């Protein structure tokens, strides 16, 4: 069962893409300030879980409680205002906007977000390229931008979908540094990651997914003892 002081509590979440039943009762919870990771093979429903939480997928049943609010009852454009930020797998940088416009696009939903200056300090290359067209950035820079624009908004929970996918090790390291920095500032993070090593460096807790449901949950401390299970399921 989910912990009572959880910031996000997902209980028996089912979701459908049209007729296709993609999530078969996902349950997980995240404490404030925790970083948790969803791991699992391709296609088990990790991205679907994120999209169902943020509400992009509307055909869903179950319970999603965030910061005392029932997310199931919110229309899509109100979910961010509850305090959740979403960084999609495809990054979602807008080609018809400049870097700065991309950065400024998501509205501020709560106080406590980083100022533009702080963001540019953390991501100096974004400052340099701020007037370029958003999609002219490299993959790594776009990923930085996708994360950076969420930091301005004051969200408490960040949903990150495969942030390191397809990126060079140097960038991956940089992303890890940024996430670590966010952690120290108290951000709660739900991370979906295929790159197991990367995830294991920052995650406090792991949720293993198979066939549309969470089959195992354990803290980072138990990682070693669970390696056999993970080898078996993930083939890492």
Partner 1 sequence: MTMIFGIPIQAFLGQLLVGLINGSFYAMLSLGLAIIFGLLRVINFAHGAQYMLGAFAGYLLLTWFGIGYWPSLILVPLIVGVIGLVIEKFALSRLYSVDPLYGLLFTFGLALVLEGVFRYYFGVSGNPYPTPSLLAGGTNLGFMFLPIYRGWVVVASLIVCIGVWIAIEKTKLGAYLRAATENPRLVQAFGVNVPLLLTLTYGIGSGLAGLAGILAAPVYQVSPLMGSDLIIVVFAVVVVGGMGSILGAIVTGYILGLAEGLTKVFYPEASSVVIFVIMAAVLLVRPAGLFGREGA
Q: Which residues lie near partner 1 (CB under 8 A)? A: 54-56, 76-81, 85-86, 88, 92, 94-97, 101, 104-107, 109, 153
Would you say 73 or 232 has its CB closer to partner 1?
Answer: 73
Minimum distance of partner 1 from residue 218's CB (angstroms): 30
Directed axis angle between helix 139-151 and helix 169-184, to 10°?
10
Minimal distance, residue 156 CB to partner 1, in Å: 13
Distance CA 76, CA 140 (A): 28
Judged by beta carbon, residue 88 or residue 200, the one nearer partner 1 is 88
| Nearest-approach distance from CB 95 to partner 1, in angstroms | 7
Of 9 and 153, which CB lies nearer to partner 1 in the complex structure?
Answer: 153
CB of 107 to partner 1, least distance (A): 5
> Which of 56/227 has CB closer to partner 1?
56
Q: Which is nearer to partner 1, 88 or 139 (CB)?
A: 88
- By beta-carbon proximity to partner 1, the closer residue of 78 and 136 is 78
Query: Least distance to partner 1 from the beta carbon of 71, Å?
Result: 12
- What is the smallest separation between the CB atom of 76 and partner 1, expressed in angstroms? 5
């Amino acid at each position: 069962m989910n912990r009572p002081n959880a910031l996000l509590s997902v209980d028996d979440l089912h979701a459908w893409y049209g007729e296709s039943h993609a999530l078969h009762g996902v349950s997980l919870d995240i404490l404030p300030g925790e970083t948790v990771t969803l791991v699992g093979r391709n296609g088990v429903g990790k991205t679907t879980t994120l999209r169902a939480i943020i509400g992009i997928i509307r055909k869903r049943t179950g319970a999603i409680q965030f910061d005392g609010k029932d997310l199931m009852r919110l229309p899509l454009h109100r979910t961010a205002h509850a305090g959740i930020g979403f960084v999609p797998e495809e990054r979602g940088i807008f080609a018809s906007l400049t870097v700065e416009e991309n950065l400024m696009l998501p509205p501020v939903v709560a106080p406590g977000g980083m100022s533009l200056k702080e963001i540019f300090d953390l991501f100096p290359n974004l400052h340099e390229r701020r007037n370029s067209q958003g999609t002219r950035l490299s993959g790594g820079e776009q990923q930085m931008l996708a994360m950076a624009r969420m930091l301005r908004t004051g969200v408490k929970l960040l949903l990150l979908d495969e942030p390191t996918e397809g990126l060079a090790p140097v960038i991956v390291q940089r992303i890890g540094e940024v996430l670590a920095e966010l952690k120290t500032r108290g951000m709660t993070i739900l991370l979906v990651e295929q790159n197991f090593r990367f995830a294991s460096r920052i995650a406090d807790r792991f949720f293993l997914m198979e066939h549309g449901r969470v089959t195992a949950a354990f803290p980072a401390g138990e990682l070693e003892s669970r390696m056999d299970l993970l080898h078996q399921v993930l083939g890492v």
